[in-house]
Structure 1
Amino acid sequence: MYRISELAELLGLSRTTLLYYEKIGLISGKRQSNGYRSYSELDVQRLRLIQQLQGGGLTLKECKACLEAKVDRQVLLERLNQLDEEIVQKQKSRQLLGALLGESRLTEWHESLDKVAPEAHLAWLISQGFSEKEALRLRWLSKDMNKHDCYMADFNKVFTPLDRWGPGSEKETLLALSKVPFKSEAVLEIGCGQGIATTVLAKHSSAHITALDNHENSLSRLMDRAKKQGLAERVTTVCASMTDMPFEAESFDLIWSECSAYIMGVANALKQWRSLLTSNGILVLSDLVWSTDSPSEDALSFWQKEYPDMTSVKERTKQAKEGGYEVLDSFALSEDAWAAYYEPLQSRVNELKSEMPHSDALHDLEAELDIYHRRLSEFDYQMFILKKA
Structure 2
Amino acid sequence: MEFYVYRISELASLVGLSRTALLYYEKLNLIAGKRLENGYRVYSDRDVQQIRLIQQLQAGGVTLAECKSCLESRLDKAVLRLRYDQLESEIKQKEQALSLLSSLLGDKSSKPWHETLSEIAPDAHIDWLKVQGFDEKQALRVKWLSKDMNEHDKYMQDFMTVFEPLESWGPNSQEDTSKAFTLLNRNPNNILEIGCGKGNSTIVIAKLSNANIIATDNETMALGKLEEKLELHCLKSKVTTQCVSMTELNFGDKQFDVIWSEASAYIMGIENALAKWKSLLKDRGALVFSDLVWLTDKPSKASVDHWKSDYPDIQSVDTRIAQIKKAGYILEHTFTVSEQAWKDYYEPLQQRLTDVASALGNSPKHCMIFKTR
Is 1:45 equivalent to 2:46 in the alignment? no
Other-structure match for 2:211: 207
User: Equivalents in 2 of 1:319, 1:164: separation in Å?
Assistant: 28
CA drift at 1:6: 4.3
Is 1:216 equivalent to 2:206 in the alignment? no
Is 1:293 equivalent to 2:297 in the alignment? yes
State the one-letter code of the partner of 1:28: A
State the one-letter code of the partner of 1:328: E
Other-structure match for 2:329: 325
Of 352-361 and 301-310, deviating more is 352-361
More strand by share: 1
Other-structure match for 1:105: 109
Other-structure match for 2:143: 139
Alignment match of 2:125 (pick from 94, 103, 121): 121
Is 1:313 equivalent to 2:301 in the alignment? no
TM-score by length of 1: 0.88
User: Equivalents in 1 of 2:321, 2:158: separation in Å?
Assistant: 36
TM-score by length of 2: 0.92
Other-structure match for 1:347: 351
State the one-letter code of the partner of 2:124: A
Of 180-189 and 26-35, deviating more is 26-35
1:152-177 deviation digits (Å, cap 9, x = unpaired): 11111111111111111112112111
State the one-letter code of the partner of 2:230: A
1:50-86 deviation digits (Å, cap 9, x = unpaired): 1121111111111111222233344444434443443
User: Equivalents in 2 of 1:7, 1:328: separation in Å?
Assistant: 85
SS in 1 for 2:192: strand
CA drift at 1:308: 1.1
State the one-letter code of the partner of 1:41: D
- Whether the 8 Å CA contact 2:357–2:364 is kept in 1: the answer is no
- Whether the 8 Å CA contact 1:30–1:39 is kept in 2: the answer is yes
Alignment match of 2:262 (pick from 248, 258, 261): 258
- Whether the 8 Å CA contact 1:57–1:83 is kept in 2: the answer is yes
CA drift at 1:151: 1.0
SS in 2 for 1:25: coil
Provide structure 1 residue ranges, at least 5 long, that are not aligned to the other structure: 380-389
Is 1:25 equivalent to 2:29 in the alignment? yes
CA drift at 1:111: 1.4
- Whether the 8 Å CA contact 1:198–1:211 is kept in 2: the answer is yes
Is 1:359 equivalent to 2:366 in the alignment? no
User: Equivalents in 2 of 1:338, 1:11: separation in Å?
Assistant: 72
- Whether the 8 Å CA contact 1:142–1:361 is kept in 2: the answer is no
Other-structure match for 1:244: 248
Alignment match of 1:165 (pick from 146, 165, 169): 169
Of 231-240 and 77-86, deviating more is 77-86
CA drift at 1:150: 1.0
Other-structure match for 1:180: 184
CA drift at 1:314: 0.8
User: Equivalents in 2 of 1:78, 1:158: separation in Å?
Assistant: 54
- Whether the 8 Å CA contact 1:356–1:362 is kept in 2: the answer is no
Counterparts in 2 of 1:9 and 1:121: CA distance versus 1, 3 Å: same
User: Equivalents in 2 of 1:344, 1:334: separation in Å?
Assistant: 17
SS in 2 for 1:158: helix
1:361-385 deviation digits (Å, cap 9, x = unpaired): 65412xx1xxx2xx4xxx3xxxxxx
State the one-letter code of the partner of 2:46: L
User: Equivalents in 2 of 1:114, 1:343: separation in Å?
Assistant: 29
Provide structure 2 residue ranges, at least 5 long, that are not aligned to the other structure: none
User: Equivalents in 2 of 1:320, 1:282: separation in Å?
Assistant: 12
User: Equivalents in 2 of 1:354, 1:220: separation in Å?
Assistant: 28
Alignment match of 2:229 (pick from 204, 225, 231): 225
User: Equivalents in 2 of 1:30, 1:241: separation in Å?
Assistant: 79
Spell out the pairing of 1:377-388 with structure 2 (5 A cutoff): 379=373
User: Equivalents in 2 of 1:233, 1:347: separation in Å?
Assistant: 35
State the one-letter code of the partner of 2:166: L
User: Equivalents in 1 of 2:365, 2:223: separation in Å?
Assistant: 23
Other-structure match for 2:97: 93
Is 1:337 equivalent to 2:341 in the alignment? yes
User: Equivalents in 1 of 2:312, 2:286: separation in Å?
Assistant: 27
- Whether the 8 Å CA contact 2:159–2:367 is kept in 1: the answer is no
1:101-145 deviation digits (Å, cap 9, x = unpaired): 333322222212222222222222222221111111111111111
Is 1:273 equivalent to 2:277 in the alignment? yes
State the one-letter code of the partner of 2:319: E
CA drift at 1:10: 3.9
State the one-letter code of the partner of 1:70: R
User: Equivalents in 2 of 1:361, 1:146: separation in Å?
Assistant: 16
SS in 2 for 1:222: helix
